Structure 1
Amino acid sequence: MFKRLTAAALAASLTIFGSATTATAQTEIPFALDWKFEGPSAPYFLAIDSGLFAEQGLDVSISEGNGSLDAIPKVATGAFPIGFADINSLMRFLDQNPDAPVKAVMMVYDKPPFAIVGRKSLGVEAPADLEGRVLGAPPPDGAWAQFPIFAAENNLNVDAITVEPVGFPTREPMLAEGQVAAVTGFSFSSTLNLKRLGVEADDISVILMADHGVQLYGNAIIVNTDFAAENPEVVTGFLTAVAAGWKAAIADPATAVESLIERNPAADAGLETERLQMAIDANVLTDFVMENGMGSVDADRMAAAIEQTKSVYDFVGEPEMSLYFDGSYLPAADALMLQ
């Protein structure tokens, strides 16, 4: 049995507090990111600083993470009511833990940033170039989890690729030093980290898996379903503020990054603005999102993504979209339009 808090216990763990000078109460919501405080997390901090969460009666605090396999259990156990994680990792987690109360409720990365990032000077510019070379891959990495699909779609001989397990902190430094020829990672994270380490931009090759046959979705807002069932208005309010935060960040990325720098003063504002813009252009503001707004998924595409996952992963149960995604908490369509 998957260990979890009851809905009542989880709700009780969230402080509801009032002030003698205000008529509204603020519900404290801890939010678990999948990764560090970098450019793509700026919209959530902007939503705090500009009062977008407060308008929904929410007092949100944000915690960094160490990959989706770190964020998902935090939400499933009830330690956090809401988080941010890769939906493909969530699918596998739920297959292995079918009673876990966790589900995606808002798609953020309509086009996933899963990528192979390599060095042209080390011979990596196209998928086939990985054969005969060393690929660095952190075992918990979301991009590495999808590598078998990428390899199958591109007819790679995986036996000809030497895979070096690496840690997240050493991934880009090893590539910068030439110890590996390429790494798996998020396109905007690995690319900008390499530039920060002094690798010239024209020496960096970014092979986005979505441009090479991988039909998967990417990261989504996930919720503890026990908490969501007891507090649907809180979840919808949170998603409303998230969409507004992304809309504001798209309109003014530099201001969004100012909110990020408040929490991560060591970050380079220019670099993180570039990282945020990369995420906006390639992953968030897709043609589908421009037409339909942020947050929903296309049923046919999700079915195709599940079939791709089935080709490289043996599900214990029968996979279907309703097990992983619930769009019923999304706000009205006009609140989801980003431009």
Structure 2
Amino acid sequence: MFHRAIVIASGLFAATVVNAQTEVPFALDWKFEGPSAAYFAAIDNGHFAEENLSVNIEAGSGSVQTIPKIATGAFPMGFGDINSVIKFLDQNPGAPVTAVMMIYDKPPFAIVGRKSLGVSEPKDLEGRVLGAPPPDGAWAQFPVFAQETGIDPSSVTVEPVGFPTREPMLAEGNVDAITGFSFSSVVNLKRLGVADDDISNILMADHGLELYGNAILVNTDWAAENSEQVRGFLRAVAAGWQDVIDDPAAGIDSLVQRNPAADKGLEQERLQMAIEQNVATDYVKANGMGGIDAARMKKAIEQLGETYEFQNTPDASLYFTDAYLPEGGFALK
């Protein structure tokens, strides 16, 4: 049974249209942190309501874990790692899940280490201990990263760790580096007192990875019956991202309403990292938000195949569709 964190648009306007709204449970990849502010802004600023949608948001436990929630129909829509979708569909042919809007054009997959522990560059991992949560999206890409950077995986001692203990173990020196999303792990380490100049943020995308990152996912059976709701949902998400780009502080206010324990300053830093490094990339600024480049996706699938043995012939049309996006994607100002 799923325990859902219910988040609904408030105010008189929402009350007058609630009967006409479609309920859309939405599964996040992770906890209510900086980058999720875009979705709460879309609620608080009325973007979902304008599309006659009432969106219920649940925190997640890893970007890989979102996929079966969508495929089983427990959630019609969610946010998860497209590379893991590719592998999931290879292992579960015909499963009703696909990506419909790319959010992290440049994925935040990272190796985050401490320079004082000898980790500044990829090859520094050899002979050292790497903490990696098994459901972590960044850990899922480590074999490709190792292949591209010439790391001998057998020389790296991998310590399975939990998400809550990952950064504390690195802060305490119990591991030399960790896998994670850059904006999550870097900011968490700062919160734990690790000096900024001691943190090495090794983005996999800067070291040969052509992969995309997290996308809006949809249950294809639900989408076939609710195509206009999917389009409206994506319009609202794009508007929410524009809102937090224009006014990050207001976006964090929306976040803190749902997570009162959050540190506003750190979460705004986390949001800014996601915007600058992952969302508002040069490609997105030139080509719009939400879509993908077919040639890059082809390379990404080939790259995954270097360390993953496909059981079936890869088919990019199964993993992503732009059918619910406007032509040219959503312009980010």
Tell me the TM-score range normalised by the shorter chain. Answer: over 0.9
List aligned pairs for 1:203-214, cutoff 5 A: 203-214=198-209
Specify which of 33, 41, 51 is matched with residue 38 of structure 1: 33
How big is the shift at 1:332? 4.8
How big is the shift at 1:118? 0.2
* Aligned counterparts of 2:18 and 2:332: Cα–Cα separation in 1: 31
Structure 2 gaps, min length 5: 1-13
How big is the shift at 1:283? 0.2
Matching residue of 1:109: 104
CA contact 1:113–1:208 (8 Å) conserved in 2: yes
Paired residue type of 1:180:
V
- Distance change in 2, residues 1:245/1:147 (3 Å): same
1:184 partnered with 2:179: yes
Specify which of 295, 299, 315 is matched with residue 310 of structure 2: 315
2:323 counterpart SS class: helix
Structure 1 gaps, min length 5: 1-18
1:48 partnered with 2:62: no
1:57 partnered with 2:45: no
* Aligned counterparts of 1:149 and 1:304: Cα–Cα separation in 2: 12
1:266 partnered with 2:278: no
Residues 267-313 of structure 1, C-alpha deviations (whole Å, 9 max, x = no match)? 00000000000000000001110011100000000000000000000
Give the TM-score normalised by structure 2.
Answer: 0.94
Q: How many residues align?
A: 321
* Aligned counterparts of 1:251 and 1:104: Cα–Cα separation in 2: 26
* Aligned counterparts of 2:123 and 2:85: Cα–Cα separation in 1: 29
CA contact 1:303–1:320 (8 Å) conserved in 2: no
1:103 counterpart SS class: strand
Residues 303-333 of structure 1, C-alpha deviations (whole Å, 9 max, x = no match)? 0000000000001111121010011011354
1:156 partnered with 2:160: no
* Aligned counterparts of 1:20 and 1:179: Cα–Cα separation in 2: 52
Paired residue type of 2:37:
A
1:136 counterpart SS class: strand
Specify which of 323, 327, 333 is matched with residue 328 of structure 1: 323
* Aligned counterparts of 1:202 and 1:174: Cα–Cα separation in 2: 18
Specify which of 149, 156, 169 is matched with residue 164 of structure 2: 169
Matching residue of 2:5: none
Instruction: State percent identity of aligned pairs.
Output: 69
Matching residue of 1:254: 249
Give the TM-score normalised by structure 1.
Answer: 0.92
Matching residue of 2:193: 198
CA contact 2:18–2:54 (8 Å) conserved in 1: no
Residues 185-222 of structure 1, C-alpha deviations (whole Å, 9 max, x = no match)? 00000000101111111110000000000110000000
Paired residue type of 1:223:
V
* Aligned counterparts of 2:306 and 2:52: Cα–Cα separation in 1: 44
How big is the shift at 1:24? 7.1
Matching residue of 2:76: 81
- Distance change in 2, residues 1:155/1:230 (3 Å): same
Residues 139-177 of structure 1, C-alpha deviations (whole Å, 9 max, x = no match)? 111111111111111111111111111111110010000
Matching residue of 2:8: none
List aligned pairs for 1:20-35, cutoff 5 A: 21-22=16-17, 25-35=20-30
Note the aligned Cα RMSD (angstroms). 1.5
How big is the shift at 1:21? 4.7
* Aligned counterparts of 1:23 and 1:123: Cα–Cα separation in 2: 56
Paired residue type of 1:232:
S
* Aligned counterparts of 1:211 and 1:69: Cα–Cα separation in 2: 22
* Aligned counterparts of 1:295 and 1:230: Cα–Cα separation in 2: 22
How big is the shift at 1:50? 0.4
CA contact 2:17–2:52 (8 Å) conserved in 1: no
Paired residue type of 1:307:
E
